[in-house]
Amino acid sequence: GEDVEQSLFLSVREGDSSVINCTYTDSSSTYLYWYKQEPGAGLQLLTYIFSNMDMKQDQRLTVLLNKKDKHLSLRIADTQTGDSAIYFCAERYSTDKLIFGTGTRLQVFP
């Protein structure tokens, strides 16, 4: 079955880098995603990576994928207070279905 795990909480100082980790079990995933959810709001797609890629960089965001270990990470450079939110990784299990991780609450303090 599919299962996506994340650590629950991460606290970083403003200006530092944040690294949010995710492990998944379905090796047939084609795309892996990172979403951001602010309090009381829906999900915002931050970035995604195709399963045949190792790394993708998009401005302050860097996604690393280790397919062998089924490990995905999101690095946010120069973390700001506006980055405080819950971050979900998700894998595309089939053409349509997304399986979401448990979510990591990022708190940025001054």
Partner 1 sequence: GAVVSQHPSWVICKSGTSVKIECRSLDFQATTMFWYRQFPKQSLMLMATSNEGSKATYEQGVEKDKFLINHASLTLSTLTVTSAHPEDSSFYICSARVASGARVYEQYFGPGTRLTVT
Given the rule CB under 8 A, which residues bind partner 1?
Answer: 31, 35, 40-45, 48, 88, 92, 95-103
CA distance 76 to 12: 11
**Shortest Å, Cβ 35 to partner 1:** 8
CA distance 84 to 23: 21
Nearer to partner 1, 18 or 35 (CB): 35
Nearer to partner 1, 42 or 82 (CB): 42
Nearer to partner 1, 62 or 102 (CB): 102
**Shortest Å, Cβ 33 to partner 1:** 8
**Residue 21 burial by CB count (10 A; 0-12/13-18/19+): exposed, middle or buried?**
middle
Quote the tokens at residue 87.
């971050």
